Structure 1
Amino acid sequence: MGSTAFETLFGGAAGGGKSHGQLLDALRFAVCYPGSRQLMLRRTMPELERSLVPASLRLYPQRIASYKVGEHQWRFQNGSVLEFGFCDAESDVTRYQSAEYDVLRFDELTHFTESQFTYLISRVRGANGYPKQVKSTTNPGGVGHHWVKARYIDPMPPGTVAEFDGGSRLFLPACLADNPFLRRADPDYEKRLRLLSIHDRRALLDGVWELDEGRYFTEWSPALHVVPPHPIPRGWRRCLTIDYGLDMLAALWIAQSPDGRSLVYRELYEPNLIISEAAARIRACESANEQIDCRLAPPDLWNRRQETGKSAAELFSECGLDFEKSDNNRVSGWLALHELLVPRRDGRPLLTVAETCRNLIRTLPALRHDARNPSDVAGAPHELTHAPDALRGYAATVREPAAPARPSAYDCEIGAFLSY
């Protein structure tokens, strides 16, 4: 963990000494940089109390630091502080909104959502001149597997520091062989890992990141479903479908060919918009001569609001956007989306997505099965569901295509494919 990159992930197989290394690196930093502040996070407080806290009590010398149980902090004689924290709910990140840390440490990063991570790394700041870093450990799997893999595993080879907007990143693979102390103390640990299911064994023993078990849309393939923006013929119907809440507006523009092919050609993905702002942003995305044939929204937008006595649908209408109710049956909607994604006899799916629609491309393959209802999508992490929910509304409600038209080869519209 002695990395100098701004972000470092030490991840892979279980038993590689990841958490132990994280604690020792935190101890080294606290001693080397007097008055420094660090935050070490697990998803829940019980996880902290079962793992990091007792391990730190065994490792840290009492003559240079003392642990304050009520505050979950190690306080060092040189003024340094190591704080243990947690983020169970999405909103728990706000408990750290005024804090400043030199180093932020995530234990089991794949247990966190991407929105929690990106908010919390903004707390890494300060004018003391000390190194500012984010250091994380994890095993493959968990609700954050997809975004962690996309951030650290896919972009660069292991052990290579790569530069990105916002700072450098490094992935260090972990394996059981990295921890000879555990193998000597518990020689049967590896044998027990080999008794796990194939999926768990690949994640925990082999440290494999290419895990598909639990993925809802297994038919999704970037090679099949992601396409460059291209002209849309005038004879195609256009539809806007949205999922709206104050936490996120997800809007997708979809063009449907006469033979039933659908192209998601534009997206809008933006949080913290009241209805008038959301309507203005939607209208700004559409060109002046763009004909939208239908606008779909989930039925809950027709519920009357206590503060105004009007529904969200009525407020959108007052802003010039009239919506129809989409079919909100979750299971049948997801099944309809499966049908659009599965390749047909010609090898092509009925639905493709323009490569500019980055949030839909990011979130749709990350959806997992609901553990209690395998026919449904898991509702957590919630951040992943907004754009797919909008697409589900379209899939469940889409009409039968009109009779094939015969437009001129030149009768097409070169529209801008906007992505926000």
Structure 2
Amino acid sequence: MDTVHFKITRKQKAFINATADEVMFGGAAGGGKSYGQLIDAFLFALKYPGSKQLILRRTFPELDMSLIRVSRELYPSNLYRYNAARHAGVFFNGSLFDFGYCDTERDIYRYQSAEYDVIRFDELTHFPEHMYIYLLSRVRGANDFPKQVKSSTNPGGVGHTWVKKRFIDPSPANMEFKTNNGTRIFIPSKVTDNIFLMNNDPGYLQRLDNLNEDDRRMLKDGDWDVNQGAYFGEFTRSIHVMPPFEIPSHWRRYRALDYGLDMLACYWIAVDIYGRAYVYKELHKPDVIIPDAARMIREMTDKDERITATYAPPDLMNRRQDTGKSVFDTFAENGVPLVKASNNRVQGWYAMKEWLHPFKDELGQTIAGIRIFSTCINLIEDIPALIHDKNNPNDCDTEPHEHTHGPDAIRYFIAGRPSPTPKPKIQDEERPRNNIQSFLSFGT
């Protein structure tokens, strides 16, 4: 067999040699991510005859213009051939690649009965989390070949938040870490790590410098603290997230919920005399039927909490043909009466942006119309994860769907036009004192 020579960077070598169950490679544009994937896949195929690998992009045109085209140019024809009808690459030793894509939700089920030794995601942040989690189950087989998921990506996109949470936040870069489901590692790579690109196209850095600040931070610097296209750019943890405090008993209290079998998201919200809202309690649970949902809401509502209204979207008023009852009816029968709130998405999101918009209070501190107790962990994660709909930038994208439930509930609360707490006769008694005052000061 002829000797095959590939030139690789130091970071590409680290990616190839990584043995963690889940490996994520990349960060900045031009770091050699896709090339590293193809070299790694080629070496694996030669080392383990008869092995099977799946290489994924979100859409087939992206796959065809990148990985498929480059693999045909890169791999020696005496070792490898591409079968266009099957979208598969076949090696002389029986190893194969399936070039796959998941353009729609149902595409993942095309791999329902498949078995792969390695699955490779190129541009992982283009995928929602549930697609990734489902396809993890396709890594299996009775042989003794290594089993891995190896991904590459830039920051930004629909999957930015969950990828950051899964690979970036838990551990320093280049350090393998353990989870309940195996081991993971993030190997960063910037354009300056790709000596071949730097030597052959030194003007590439300048072109990256010409991008707007967010794009430059993501594509040149590989900065994961930027989420391109975030709908609620106003959201800042230092302003909108606060330690819990004891809610004054006379403040108006509301609940708001978004319900479906995929998720029950319910929030308890207090409003002070200035009309400022405090999200102080969270119920976020999947696969809950209505009687159980109502029971959980009742149990989490203290006996002395006087709930002014529980807002919900109008589609829950639709009556089912088999029972003649609506979700509103069933919740009411189980002790949680609901109040209809508008479901005008664009108008509702705009109103929510106004509530989140920072301003100076009477003490000169930067505050906002709504803030969240630090115990409401899902809502705090979900709001900054929402991005603009690519077809209607005035609306939020419905993907990643798992991040939409909590913000939807807050949108219904705002659309319900909640009233402030009535001012007491002696207004000074309303003002929080001592340590509570410090909690109510935004930015603490």
Q: Normalized against structure 2, the TM-score is what?
A: 0.82
- Please list the CA deviations of residues 293-350 of structure 1 after superposition, one character each: whole Å capped at 9, or x if unmatched: 3211111111233444433222333333221101323333223323333244143333
- Please list the CA deviations of residues 181-218 of structure 1 after superposition, one character each: whole Å capped at 9, or x if unmatched: 33444454444444444433333233333325532222
- CA RMSD, Structure 1 to Structure 2 (Å): 2.9
Q: Which runs of 5+ in 1 are unaligned?
A: 410-420
Amino acid at match of 2:32: G
Alignment of 1:124-203 (within 5 A): 124-203=139-218
Query: Secondary structure of 2:375's match?
Result: coil
Pick from 354, 360, 381 the counterpart of residue 373 of structure 2: 354
CA separation of 1:203 and 1:35: change in aligned 2, threshold 3 A = same
Q: How many residues align?
A: 410
Distance 1:42 1:23 in 2: 13
- Please list the CA deviations of residues 72-111 of structure 1 after superposition, one character each: whole Å capped at 9, or x if unmatched: 2223344433222111223432333343333221100111
Q: CA deviation at 1:283?
A: 4.0
Q: Which moved more, 1:238-247 or 1:207-216?
A: 207-216
Distance 2:132 2:340 in 1: 35
Matched, 1:302 2:317: yes
Distance 2:38 2:239 in 1: 44
Q: CA deviation at 1:393?
A: 0.8
Distance 2:25 2:249 in 1: 51
Amino acid at match of 1:348: I
Q: CA deviation at 1:137?
A: 0.8
Which residue pairs with 1:396 in the alignment? 415
Contact kept, 8 Å, 2:125 with 2:163, in 1: the verdict is yes
Q: CA deviation at 1:367?
A: 1.7
Distance 1:307 1:23 in 2: 54
Q: Normalized against structure 1, the TM-score is what?
A: 0.86
Q: Which moved more, 1:360-369 or 1:28-37?
A: 28-37
Matched, 1:53 2:72: no
Alignment of 1:259-274 (within 5 A): 259-274=274-289
Distance 2:279 2:182 in 1: 32
Amino acid at match of 1:383: E
Contact kept, 8 Å, 1:344 with 1:350, in 2: the verdict is no
Distance 1:376 1:181 in 2: 42
CA separation of 1:200 and 1:340: change in aligned 2, threshold 3 A = closer
Q: CA deviation at 1:242?
A: 1.2
Distance 1:269 1:158 in 2: 31
Distance 1:288 1:104 in 2: 52
Which residue pairs with 1:17 in the alignment? 32
Contact kept, 8 Å, 2:156 with 2:227, in 1: the verdict is no
Pick from 322, 325, 335 the counterpart of residue 320 of structure 1: 335
Which residue pairs with 1:36 in the alignment? 51
Contact kept, 8 Å, 2:157 with 2:227, in 1: the verdict is no
CA separation of 1:209 and 1:238: change in aligned 2, threshold 3 A = same
Distance 2:385 2:377 in 1: 13
Contact kept, 8 Å, 1:259 with 1:403, in 2: the verdict is no
- Please list the CA deviations of residues 25-78 of structure 1 after superposition, one character each: whole Å capped at 9, or x if unmatched: 112222223343322111111111111111122223343444333332223344
Overall identity of the aligned pairs, in %: 51
Amino acid at match of 1:219: E
Contact kept, 8 Å, 1:276 with 1:315, in 2: the verdict is yes
Matched, 1:100 2:119: no
Matched, 1:332 2:347: yes
Which residue pairs with 2:136 in the alignment? 121
